[in-house]
Amino acid sequence: MSQKSITLPTCTSCNRPIMPREEASRFYCPNCHQVFIWRCERCRKFSRKYKCISCSFEGP
């Protein structure tokens, strides 16, 4: 029997793994539209900044 591992997405702001059913958001970078930005529930709530790894765009 083989075991499968699941890779959880991580928050772009705090690098914490985003758990299933967490009220996180995922969207393409508003500037370059190339990279998914993941935002965990806490970072969204406290409006923590994020930075795109492709174009260095920063958002709230």
Question: 3-state SS string over the chain?
Answer: CCCCCCCCCECCCCCCECCCCCCCEEEECCCCCCCEEEECHHHHHCCCCEECCCCCCEEC
Does residue 48 fall inside a structural domain?
yes
Does residue 3 fall inside a structural domain?
no
Does residue 21 fall inside a structural domain?
yes
Kindly give the confidence (pLDDT) of every residue in the chain, 60 residues in length, as a single tens digit, with 9 standing for 90 and above: 677 888 999 999 999 999 999 999 999 999 999 999 999 999 999 999 999 999 999 998
Predicted model pTM: 0.84
Does residue 4 fall inside a structural domain?
no
Q: What is the pLDDT of residue 5?
A: 86
Does residue 23 fall inside a structural domain?
yes
Q: What is the pLDDT of residue 1?
A: 62
Does residue 33 fall inside a structural domain?
yes
Task: Name the domain count of the chain.
Answer: 1
Q: What is the domain range of residue 27?
A: 9-60
Does residue 43 fall inside a structural domain?
yes
